[in-house]
Homo-oligomer: A and B are copies of this chain.
Amino acid sequence: MRIALAQLNYHIGDFDGNLARMEAAIREAIRMKADLVCLAELAVCGYPPQDFLEFGDFIRRCEAAVETLKSLSREIAIAVGAPVVNPVPEGKDLFNAALFLAEGQVRHVHHKALLPTYDIFDEYRYFEPGSGFRVVEWKGTRIALTVCEDIWNVGNENPLYTRCPIDEMMAGRPDLIINLSASPFSHAQSAERRQVLRANALRYGLPLFYVNHVGAQTELIFDGGSTVMKPDGTVYAEMISFGEEIRVFDLGEVIRNPGEGPRTQDKITSIHDALVLGLRDYFRKLGLSRAVLGLSGGIDSAVTAALAVRALGPDSVTGLLMPSRYSSGHSVEDARQLAQNLGMPYQVVPIESPFAAVLQAVAPVFGDLPFDVTEENIQARLRGMILMAWANKFGAILLNTTNKSEMAVGYGTLYGDLCGGLSVLGDVYKTEVYDLAAHINRDGLLIPPNSIQKPPSAELRHHQKDTDSLPPYDELDPVLRLYIEERQGPRELIAAGFDEALVNRILRLVNTNEFKRYQTAPVLRVSPKAFGMGRRMPIVARYLS
């Protein structure tokens, strides 16, 4: 039995495009003499389709795609994920299914039993859990066909579910496990996934073929990393990360031969590569190619620009330098140097004259009230306005450069520096932005040392520093990480040795700035807990605030 894993970049709702991509992979698998080709979870429509699943028209198009795949299964068996209608009136209208197509027929249907409904996942919103699990036999080989989370109730410390579908399939004496997945990247995911695959192989003593999506869908980045696991829980092969790949594996060889072992990538490299893919796919899937961003001379905009240049090419990324009366001379110079290093175009648009005009317009209303955060915000909003004007005039998308630490504590101006169609660093803490800068500078000095070394400042008033308003980032980030990623409360944080006043101050900042995060751009997700769809918080709450 020769099994092909096709790790493809789907596009939500692009039925023609997805079908063309799958068809090419199927032809390639036939050429490579595979008996079976495995496509990913909900491959026909892309993942996550979200509320499009509630539209009958959308489901009909999924069914039409399956019909086409069925006709392609005369030459090769196909395992593919698709939503299928629940024939029973009780329960949710759909199942999240893995279809086994062969000889032009649907030979077997598995309904996903474990429906992830946490963090970024909402599957019980749409799907009825499956029950009654059987194996499918093809060319004398018995296959335990599963979908993603179905194998995640093994080997992890926090069992979210009360059942385990493969346990039931074991009555059918399967020869191997296939898992069609849609498992998004985080810097912790690859190791955790390998551990779960290993636990399954060991528990059942079976080889396991795991195929994942690759490519980004707005905030979610799928890294691929499709894996073949030997029955002894060692890695036979891992496919590439962040790219499409089709590979064929011989079942006998997987069982007999030693494996290649796992691929490994350090955390910052994987975040870097994920962000580049996230950027590239956001533009490509929206059919746009030009990006614009503000270059302040600081490290966040420098790292964002470098990532954008790698994703889109230097000619497609324009930087705007928008000095005000409070900008230091070196800021403009650092930004100019960065643009030159990256080979990207830049333009200088001073905001001094519109700033003066706005102050004059509001003067009759504000009278002689003192300068405060209002005037700081006006500068940030003027920059946002000019960037958006550039984006409108030249058909570009504005990139947001805010980092996760700033997003967390609300250190940013709504409709100002929080503008943008996509937040590139919104899931990267400030201390990690420095690591990304070092990574980018590994093969040559792209980000000017001055942008890395100078104390962070918004430069919205004279001699301003971030530390005027915030704790230093090396004190702030550990508390943020424990609160946001680990859901530790004030009691745990203080018990862990953090200063009580510091903890209370930080948690209050996070909770009272939910209203800003509600209105900011989608954030490319690279951590296990990103702002956005994976973290849902009420705005008017009165808790730790």
Contacts and interface: CB of A to CB of B under 8 A. Distances in A.
A58 interface: yes
A518 B521 contact: yes
B540 A285 contact: yes
A253 to B, nearest CB: 37
A1 B469 CA distance: 59
A57 B489 contact: yes
Nearest to A352: B361
Contacts of A421: 515
A255 to B, nearest CB: 32
A153 to B, nearest CB: 8
A14 to B, nearest CB: 4
Contact of A285 (B362, B488, B542): B542
Interface string A107-150: 00000000001100010110000000000000000000000000
A489 B54 CA distance: 10
Interface string A515-545: 1001111100000000001011111111111
A217 B540 contact: yes
A87 interface: no
Given A415-B419, A491-B57, A52 B538 contact: yes
A11 interface: yes
Nearest to A47: B538
A488 B521 CA distance: 29
A257 B351 CA distance: 74
Contacts of A46: 541
B91 A540 contact: no
A520 B124 CA distance: 27
Given A117-B117, A122-B122, A357-B354, A390 B415 contact: no
B392 A415 contact: no
A496 to B, nearest CB: 13
A160 interface: yes
Given A538-B52, A540-B11, A540-B12, A91 B354 contact: no
Given A51-B535, A91-B160, A519-B521, 14 more contacts: A12-B541, A13-B538, A13-B541, A14-B543, A52-B541, A52-B543, A90-B162, A217-B540, A286-B540, A353-B361, A361-B386, A366-B389, A366-B393, A381-B381
A385 interface: yes
A539 to B, nearest CB: 4
B361 A350 contact: yes
Contacts of A490: 57
Contacts of A12: 538, 540-543
B56 A489 contact: yes
A449 to B, nearest CB: 29
Given A489-B57, A489-B58, A536-B122, A393 B369 contact: yes
A49 interface: yes
A35 interface: no
A537 B365 contact: no
A218 interface: yes
Nearest to A52: B543
B362 A390 contact: yes
A161 B487 CA distance: 31
Interface string A78-121: 00000000000111100000000000000000000000011000
B388 A381 contact: yes
